[in-house]
Chain A
Amino acid sequence: MAHPSQLGFQDAASPVMEELLHFHDHTLMIVFLISTLVLYIIVAMVTTKLTDKLILDSQVIEIIWTLLPAMILILIALPSLRILYLMDEINDPHLTIKAMGHQWYWSYEYTDYEDLGFDSYMIPTQDLAPGQFRLLETDHRMVVPLNSPTRILISADDVLHSWAVPSLGIKMDAVPGRLNQTAFITSRPGVFFGQCSEICGANHSFMPIVVEAVPLEHFENWSSMMLQDT
């Protein structure tokens, strides 16, 4: 989860998010170098004693400042497109989950084998147990098996919502009347938090998402227990 005054990304919990982190580092280094170059040029221009009002053009520098940005953009675009197409790959998911956005909670349906469905409401601040996170915890978590490709179908019941979990590198709009599909693999066990990412009314800030990645046998035990409860 995010920690106070955090500026960077959360630690990656899926291979796609790892690739996004690496791409971000790559692009940030390019941005840093360009910023340093601009800063240096500003200092050089301010401190020079030379002035020449009659320069109209200079072929060499114009070629340099055309080709160099083009090369930099290609250096950024190639890994970007690679990750874009990587994110679109959905390779034979082992599990399909439907996430429906409502005002103001999420509901999840696991209908591959049995008919399991439940709602996921935020735990109010006054009901939190010690150690739980304010505005992030829910009464029922979306549990997924570890290291298994999981497909998630996202839609909404009323207004626009958005299902987002930063650690997994996922954000997908929940549109009423439309089914959006995305997929992920959790590469490490843990609990991953997200929040609704499309303004949806008064309690838009109070409908979080919690994904819990557990080994397969624990997932089977959990789903049996949930089926018995329902």
Chain B
Amino acid sequence: NQGQNSSNRKWMKGFKLLGILDVQRTPCARDAILHGAGGSVAAGMLFFLSTSRVRRSFDVGFAGFMLTTLGSWFYCRMNNAKLRVQQRVIQEGIRNKVVYEGTSLDPTNRPRADAPSGPS
């Protein structure tokens, strides 16, 4: 139990970049920063290899970091938002399954065994 408590406390501490962005607890933050770092190194290296301008390579690398981080962040957040909507729809459906089963509001719309299938 003490081991669990200490691991929970370690998880709750988080790691804050610049003291503000908790990359461990914020969804998508860690992936966005890592993608940004990779994009930054790639952009900077490519620019340097093609132009041999050191200072401008750092600028290009930084621009790459910003763009890659933003792109990865928004892509991940959009996907998470869509999943959240689906999750709520499913939760609502599970909650209402018992209430609506067999009625006209049943989303599965299975025909009942004793109901006439056509004009009698």
Chain A residues in the interface with B (C-beta under 8 A): 3, 8, 22, 25-26, 28-29, 31-33, 35-37, 39-40, 44, 147
- Contact A32:B21 (CB < 8 A) given known A25-B27, A37-B66, A44-B59: yes
**What's the count of A-B pairs with C-beta under 8 Å?**
41
| CA–CA, A39 and B22, complex, Å | 18
A40 to B22, CA, bound (A): 20
In contact, B25 and A8 (Cβ under 8 angstroms): yes
Taking the closest CB of chain A, its distance from the CB of B19, in whole angstroms, is 9
**How many Å lie between the Cα of A37 and that of B65 in the bound state?**
10
Chain B residues lying within 8 Å of A29, measured Cβ to Cβ, are 21, 26, 29, 32, 69, 73
Pair B18/A32 contact, Cβ less than 8 Å: yes
A3-B12, A8-B25, A25-B27 known; A32 vs B59 contact (CB < 8 Å): no
B contact residues around A26 at 8 Å (CB): 77
Contacts of B69 in A (CB 8 A): 29, 33
Question: Across the two chains, which residue of chain B brings its CB closest to A35?
Answer: B18
CB of B60 to closest CB in A, whole Å = 12
B118 to chain A, nearest CB (A): 39
Contact count band on B: 20 to 34
| Distance of A36 Cα from B66 Cα, bound (Å) | 9
Cβ A8 vs Cβ B70 within 8 A: no
A8 touches B22 (CB 8 A): yes
Contacts A25-B27, A26-B77, A40-B62; is A31 near B20 (CB within 8 Å)? yes
B17 lies within 8 A of chain A by Cβ? yes
Q: Measured between alpha carbons, how far is A31 from B26 in the docked complex, in Å? A: 14
Q: Given A8-B22, A40-B62, output 17 extra A-B contacts at Cβ < 8 Å.
A: A3-B12, A8-B25, A25-B28, A25-B77, A26-B77, A28-B20, A28-B21, A28-B26, A29-B26, A29-B32, A32-B17, A32-B20, A32-B21, A36-B66, A37-B62, A37-B66, A39-B18
Cα separation A55 to B10 with both chains bound (whole Å) = 52
